Amino acid sequence: MSQWGIEELDLDAYLKRIEVDKPNLRSVAAGHRANIPFENVDPYIGRVPALDLPSLQAKMVQRGRGGYCYEHNTLYAAALERLGIEVTRLAARTRVGGPETVRPRTHMMLLATVDGERFLTDVGFGANLLDPVPLRETTVQHGSWTFRLTREDDIWVLQLLGPEGWSDLYAFAIEHTYPADYLMANHYTATWQGSPFVNRLVAQSRDEDEHLVLSGTELTVKGPEGVRSQRTLTPEQAVETLRDQFGVELTDAELDAVLAKLTSPA
């Protein structure tokens, strides 16, 4: 068995879940993004997400749940490799909010090689790319959104164009990673009391024109021009929004745990 355990993936079930019948890099990225939600319910209610493929399939393929970057991109990478696409798993430092503070490498993303060309591809970032991006200094248009890859010496930086100009999303180097790297980062992200994924309920989705963000009980709709709308939900409305707008299917026990934390004093 490979170090990543890709042999354990039920590829047919995964492709059915993401509604793709003609798989290639672009169609699998789009299908995954559209059908498996970005959400952090497990770390929010005190669980460390499992990263082995049987657990990821049970949660994200069979149960209709989503997850965060380690879960999404571990599953996605296995599918790409099973399809014969070469994958390099990488770790990035998030820069949302500005590059002034050097953060740990806690975001998992991928490079995929097709016909000799490498592409940045990432289905596990809340503000996802809509398509793979060639790994070169380039500006791309994804629907109404404009992304850019640029260089800082040996560091690549993914940026998004907004109403105030370019802002950094994350930065990464081409450095080999191992399963142990993600196990450690996953545990840190899911248990450290300063982690935003421990302290705040988060769900996000992006399509060609809109970026929808649930943060705690705040629901925000953004476009390339900035915030379009924002409203505060009740805890009950927040869990309904998880299901109805983000497609997150929770058990009764999970619903109760989310509600209890949303309603508890800060």
User: CB within 8 A of 203, min separation 6: which ones?
Assistant: 37, 38, 39, 40, 66, 213, 214, 241, 242, 246, 248
Output the pLDDT for position 6. 96
Residue 264: its H or E element: none
- Of 144, 155, 158, 162, whose CA–CA distance to 227 is shortest? 162
Output the pLDDT for position 266. 61
Two tokens, residue 27: 């169609």
Output the pLDDT for position 128. 76
Q: Considering the domain boundaries, does residue 82 fall inside one?
A: yes
Two tokens, residue 243: 């299901």
For 52, 81, 250, the CA distances from 155, given in Å and listed in that order, are 29, 25, 39
Residue 171 phi, psi dihedral angles, 5° rounding: -130, 145
Residue 59 maps to which CATH number? 3.30.2140.20
Range of the domain at 51: 6-263
Q: What is the pLDDT of residues 171-198, one digit of tens each?
A: 999 999 999 999 999 999 999 999 999 9
Output the pLDDT for position 85. 98
SS (H, E, C) 33-62: HHHCCEECHHHHCCCCCCCCHHHHHHHHHH
Two tokens, residue 2: 């490979």
Rounded Cα–Cα distance for residues 136 and 265 (Å): 47
Output the pLDDT for position 237. 97
Q: Considering the domain boundaries, does residue 199 fall inside one?
A: yes
Q: Considering the domain boundaries, does residue 1 fall inside one?
A: no
Cβ 246 vs Cβ 205: under 8 Å: yes
Average confidence (pLDDT) per 10 residues, the chain, 266 residues: 90 98 97 96 98 98 96 98 98 82 91 97 89 97 95 95 93 96 97 94 94 96 94 97 95 96 83
Cβ 140 vs Cβ 62: under 8 Å: no
Cβ 60 vs Cβ 157: under 8 Å: no
115: exposed, middle or buried (Cβ count in 10 Å: 0-12, 13-18, 19+): exposed
For 90, 164, 172, 197, the CA distances from 175, given in Å and listed in that order, are 7, 32, 9, 25
Residue 114: its H or E element: strand 105-114
Catalytic residues, which ones?
A: 69, 107, 122
The number of distinct structural domains making up the chain is: 1
Q: What is the pLDDT of residues 18-39, one digit of tens each?
A: 999 999 999 999 999 999 999 9
Output the pLDDT for position 11. 98
Cβ 75 vs Cβ 81: under 8 Å: no
Q: Considering the domain boundaries, does residue 211 fall inside one?
A: yes
